[in-house]
């Protein structure tokens, strides 16, 4: 139907399943591989539609403000969008974002995690918490792009797996 949201390519990995591994370029200057966190840190994958949009900016700034709390929860926050590294670097610079942002410019990880909106060619807003063993422990995909989870909820989900 006209005006209806697009269908997503596949379903995200479900709690209890091994998180699909990936390697993406990051704003830290080196590629980031998800499996490199196994045994040392939980990971919050935060898929976001596009840099410089209102909700995405607030969301990444909120993660920056709560970064110490996430680190206290032994969790790395990785923001993932389809934007290029130069765009993500400018986004970080302009808004003082301290979270590492990953570029899924080829949309491969968004497809693998079931967050890509096929006809819009960018990701839904989604959160996936992965434990130190690489297992998905919690996930949430926003139905509306203007909605986001707040840090309190995300930190509570992280606390539940310790």
Predicted local distance difference test score (pLDDT) of residue 11: 74
56 catalytic per annotation: yes
Three-state SS for 36-67 is: HHCCCCEEEEEECCCCCCHHHHHHHHHHHHCH
Strands 75-81 and 126-130: unpaired
Neighbours of 51 (CB within 10 A): 24
Predicted local distance difference test score (pLDDT) of residue 10: 63
The low-confidence residues of the chain, meaning pLDDT below 50, are: 1-9
- Encode pLDDT of 1-15 as tens digits: 444 444 444 677 899
Predicted local distance difference test score (pLDDT) of residue 144: 84
pTM of the model: 0.91
Predicted local distance difference test score (pLDDT) of residue 162: 63
Catalytic residue among 32, 34, 43, 56: 56
């Amino acid at each position: 139907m006209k005006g209806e949201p697009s269908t997503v390519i596949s379903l995200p990995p479900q709690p209890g399943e091994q998180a699909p591994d990936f390697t993406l370029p990051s704003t830290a200057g080196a590629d980031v591989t998800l499996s490199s966190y196994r045994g040392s840190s939980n990971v919050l994958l935060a898929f976001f539609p596009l840099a410089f949009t209102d909700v995405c900016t607030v969301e990444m700034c909120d993660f920056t403000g709560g970064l110490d709390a996430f680190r206290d929860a032994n969790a790395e926050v990785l923001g993932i969008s389809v934007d290029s590294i130069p765009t993500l670097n400018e986004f970080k610079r302009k808004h003082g974002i301290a979270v590492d942002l990953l570029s899924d410019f080829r949309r491969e990880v968004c497809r693998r995690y079931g967050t890509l909106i096929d006809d819009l060619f960018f990701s839904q807003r989604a959160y996936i918490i992965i434990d130190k063993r690489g297992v998905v422990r919690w996930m949430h995909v926003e139905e509306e792009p203007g909605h986001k989870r707040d840090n309190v909820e995300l930190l509570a989900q992280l606390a539940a797996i310790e």
